[in-house]
C-alpha cells in the first residue's frame, strides 16, 4: 500500500509540474500578444484553491489533476465588450494565434532542456558501454561485434553510456540496418560494423533491446556472497545473513551464481539444504582475524507466478558484485555553459526518438501494445523518485518531451490540430469553418479516447 501511495504522490508531482509548464507557455505568450487570460487552471472540475491576480486573471487549482487549461477572452465562446475586443484571442493575427498555441509544447521542450541542465550540473554516475558477451549466431555476432568492444556511436548518435545506447538502438525498430562505431578491445582502433536488421524481432515487453540483438553488457563478476536481503523473504526466514558465502546446495558444490538462481527458481515451496561460509563478528580486538565456519541452513523458496503462468521459486536475496574497473566508470558532470549544450543535445535525441516511435506506431512497425498510460507513468515516477533527484529530473524531461510531441499531433482537440487549422487558414486566406472544426473535434476526441483506452488496457495487463 505504501508503494502505491508513493507512486501516486510522485505521479501527481510530476504531472502537476509538467501541466503547469505547458499551460504557462500558452499563458505567457498570450499575455505578450495582448490577449486577456480569464483563467489559468491546473486540473479540472471543482476548484480547491482560487485567487484573482492584479492582472485580472483567476488562478485555480482544481480537484482532478489530469490536465489543465488557459481560458482566454474569445468572441467565439462568450460575448466580449466592445472596449475589450482587441484583447480577444480570435481577433489576433494568424502568427500571434499560432505562437500562442505552439507555446505550450515549446515550453515542454524548454523544460526538458532545463531539467537535463540541472542533471548535468549535479552529475550522473554511469559506466562506459562495453560489450561483455556476444550470443553465437546472433545479429551482433554476424556483424562482427566482439566482446570487449566499447560502443562509441550508433548511426551517428554518440553513446557515452548505456542509456544513450538503448535509446539509439530502440530508434531503429522497423529499420533495415544499424551502423555501430566501436573501439576494439585490443589496441583501441575505431571500427565500424553494420547490423542487418531484416529479421530483427524485438518485443520491449519481454526482452531488452541489447539481448534481442545478441549483445550482453559487461558487468563485474558475480560473487557467491550475499549483499542484500529482502524483508519477509525466504532467505531471512532461513536465517541467511549479509556476507554469507554460499558453498553448496543439497550437497552439491556451488561455483557460479547461476547455479544458485537455477536451484531456487526450480524449487518453489520446496526445501533446499544450503551450506554457507560465515565469518563470526569480532568482539574485543580488530587485530584478531574473524573465525570462518560452515553453517547449514534450510531454505524454502516462496512461489511466484510469472505472466505466462509459470511458477518459480523466489528467495529474496542478491549477490555481491566485484568492483567496477575504474577505467569503466565515468561521471556525466559538466560546467554551466557546457551543460546547456549537453542538455540540448539530449533533449533533441529524445524528440527525434519520440517522433520516430510515433511514426512507426502509425505505420505498424511498433505494436500498439507498447503504448503506456498513467499507471505505467506513475510506476516510473515512483521508481525514479526512489533513486534520487537526478533520476527523477531525467524522468520528468522524458515525459515532458513526450507531452510536447503528443500535443503536436494533428488532432483537432490538441495543439497540433489547432496549428493544422491555422496552416489551412494561411493557405486559403480564410478561417476553417466552425462546422468543419466541430466535426474535427469530434473525430479527434474519439481517436484520443481510443488511444487512452488502449494505453490503460496495456497498463492493466502489465500489473
Active site residues: 23
| Helix ranges (DSSP H) in 304-433 | 336-363, 374-387, 389-407, 415-428
Nearest to 418 by CA among 437, 402, 399, 392: 437
> How many whole angstroms separate alpha carbon 89 and alpha carbon 293?
80
Eight-state DSSP code of residue 337: H
Torsion angle in degrees (nearest 10) through CA of 188, 189, 190, 192: -120
Nearest to 400 by CA among 8, 9, 17, 6: 17
Nearest to 98 by CA among 415, 441, 435: 415
| SS3 call for 426 | helix
For residues 235-256, one letter each, b for 16 or more C-beta atoms within 10 angstroms of the residue's C-beta and e for the rest, the string is beebebeeebbbebbeeeebee
Residue 303: partners with Cβ closer than 8 Å, 6 or more residues away: 268, 269, 311, 312, 313, 314
Length of the chain: 463
Read off the C-alpha cell for 158.
554518440
Determine contact, residues 392/384, Cβ cutoff 8 Å: yes
Amino acid at each position: 500500500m505504501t508503494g502505491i501511495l508513493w507512486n501516486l504522490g510522485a505521479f501527481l508531482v510530476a504531472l502537476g509540474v509538467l501541466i503547469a509548464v505547458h499551460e504557462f507557455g500558452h499563458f505567457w505568450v498570450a499575455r505578450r500578444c495582448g490577449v486577456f487570460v480569464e483563467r489559468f487552471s491546473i486540473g479540472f472540475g471543482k476548484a480547491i484553491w482560487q485567487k484573482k491576480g492584479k492582472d485580472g486573471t483567476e488562478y485555480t487549482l482544481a480537484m482532478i489533476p489530469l490536465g489543465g487549461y488557459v481560458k482566454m477572452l474569445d468572441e467565439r465562446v462568450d460575448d466580449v465588450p466592445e472596449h475589450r475586443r482587441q484583447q480577444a484571442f480570435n481577433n489576433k493575427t494568424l502568427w500571434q494565434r499560432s505562437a500562442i498555441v505552439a507555446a505550450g509544447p515549446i515550453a515542454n521542450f524548454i523544460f526538458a532542456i532545463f531539467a537535463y541542465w540541472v542533471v548535468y550540473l549535479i552529475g550522473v554516475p554511469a559506466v562506459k558501454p562495453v560489450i561483455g558477451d556476444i550470443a553465437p549466431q546472433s545479429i551482433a555476432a554476424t556483424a562482427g561485434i566482439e566482446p570487449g568492444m566499447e560502443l562509441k556511436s550508433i548511426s551517428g548518435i554518440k553513446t557515452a553510456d548505456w542509456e544513450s545506447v538503448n535509446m539509439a538502438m530502440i530508434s531503429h525498430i522497423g529499420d533495415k540496418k544499424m551502423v555501430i562505431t566501436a573501439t576494439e578491445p585490443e589496441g583501441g582502433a575505431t571500427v565500424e560494423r553494420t547490423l542487418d536488421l531484416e529479421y530483427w524481432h524485438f518485443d520491449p515487453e519481454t526482452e531488452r533491446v541489447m539481448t534481442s540483438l545478441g549483445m550482453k553488457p559487461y558487468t563485474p563478476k558475480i560473487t557467491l556472497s550475499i549483499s542484500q536481503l529482502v524483508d519477509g523473504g525466504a532467505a531471512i526466514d532461513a536465517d541467511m545473513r549479509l556476507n554469507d558465502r554460499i558453498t553448496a546446495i543439497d550437497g552439491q558444490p556451488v561455483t557460479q551464481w547461476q547455479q544458485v538462481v537455477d536451484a531456487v527458481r526450480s524449487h518453489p515451496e520446496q526445501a533446499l539444504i544450503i551450506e554457507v561460509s560465515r565469518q563470526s563478528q569480532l568482539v574485543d580486538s580488530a587485530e584478531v582475524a574473524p573465525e570462518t565456519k560452515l553453517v547449514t541452513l534450510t531454505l524454502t523458496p516462496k512461489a511466484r507466478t510469472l505472466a505466462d503462468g509459470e511458477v518459480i521459486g523466489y528467495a529474496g536475496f542478491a549477490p555481491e558484485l566485484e568492483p567496477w574497473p575504474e577505467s569503466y566508470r565515468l561521471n556525466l558532470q559538466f560546467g554551466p555553459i557546457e551543460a546547456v549544450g549537453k542538455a540540448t543535445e539530449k533533449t533533441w535525441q529524445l524528440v527525434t526518438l519520440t517522433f520516430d516511435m510515433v511514426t512507426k506506431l502509425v505505420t505498424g512497425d511498433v505494436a500498439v501494445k507498447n503504448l503506456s498510460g498513467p499507471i505505467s507513468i506513475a510506476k516510473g515516477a515512483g521508481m525514479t523518485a526512489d533513486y534520487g533527484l537526478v533520476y527523477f529530473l531525467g524522468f520528468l524531461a522524458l515525459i515532458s518531451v513526450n507531452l510536447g510531441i503528443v500535443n503536436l499531433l494533428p488532432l483537432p482537440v490538441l495543439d497540433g490540430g489547432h496549428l493544422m487549422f491555422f496552416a489551412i487558414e494561411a493557405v486559403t486566406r480564410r478561417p476553417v469553418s466552425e462546422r468543419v472544426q466541430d466535426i474535427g473535434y469530434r473525430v479527434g476526441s474519439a481517436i484520443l479516447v481510443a488511444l487512452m483506452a488502449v494505453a490503460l488496457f496495456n497498463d492493466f495487463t502489465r500489473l
